[in-house]
Amino acid sequence: MNINFGFSYIGLVFLLMLMIPNIIWSKNKPKEYDKYVKKENKVLILFERIGEMLVTCLSLIFSDFNINKISSWTIILLIAFIIMILYEIYWIRYFKSNKTMKDMYSSLLGIPVAGATLPIIAFLLLSVYGKNLFLFISVIILGIGHIGIHLNHKKEVI
């Protein structure tokens, strides 16, 4: 594992693709959302918060995520980017919906709780592309919390 510190413009692009829809969502939450938040598992919240902090920082400080040369590894980055585009499509669909809890926890192309699952998959692939174990572990921590919380919400909604 060869790690290179430096700014990652790819990490920044991925984070912007992640955060911009979430900022818009903060003004377009499902009507009953706050009722579900009160019941969230505290351990999952802790995993989610720690993972968010680590993934955000690590995505930006390793230049290993930048495109240095086109190789077979670039396919992994391309797949990760396509998954982030699917994430954007998920949000467009949500923003055009009635914005219910059911809309929030819908699947996309058979991927359950797509709003939580797609970015986790994309960032895992980004960590594989950059051969960065630190980001990989951080995304796993985030995924346990984030996907776990959203799966619990979905169970309550259905």
> What is the per-residue pLDDT across 78-121, written as a single tens digit (0 to 9) for each?
999 999 999 999 999 999 999 999 999 999 999 999 999 999 99
Q: What is the C-alpha separation between 30 and 51, in angstroms, rounded? A: 24
DSSP per-residue string spanning 95-139: HHS---HHHHT--BTTBTTHHHHHHHHHHHHHHHHTT-HHHHHHH
**pLDDT greater than 90 at residue 1:** no
Q: How many domains does the chain have?
A: 1
**Whole-angstrom distance between the N-terminal and C-terminal Cα of the chain?**
44
Residue type present at position 22: N
Give pLDDT tens digits for 68-79.
Answer: 899 999 999 999
**Is 131 a member of any domain?**
yes
Taking residues 108-136, report their average pLDDT: 97
Taking residues 2-29, report their average pLDDT: 96
Whole-prediction pTM = 0.95
DSSP per-residue string spanning 33-90: HHHHHTT--HHHHHHHHHHHHHHHHHHHHBGGGS--S-STTHHHHHHHHHHHHHHHHH
How sure is the predictor about 51, in pLDDT bands with cuts at 50, 70 and 90?
very high
Taking residues 124-129, report their average pLDDT: 98
**Is 20 a member of any domain?**
yes
The per-residue pLDDT for 35 is 86
**Is 3 a member of any domain?**
no
**Can you give the residue range of the structural domain that contains 58?**
10-25+32-157
How distant is the alpha carbon of residue 45 from its chain centre? 15
**Is 141 a member of any domain?**
yes
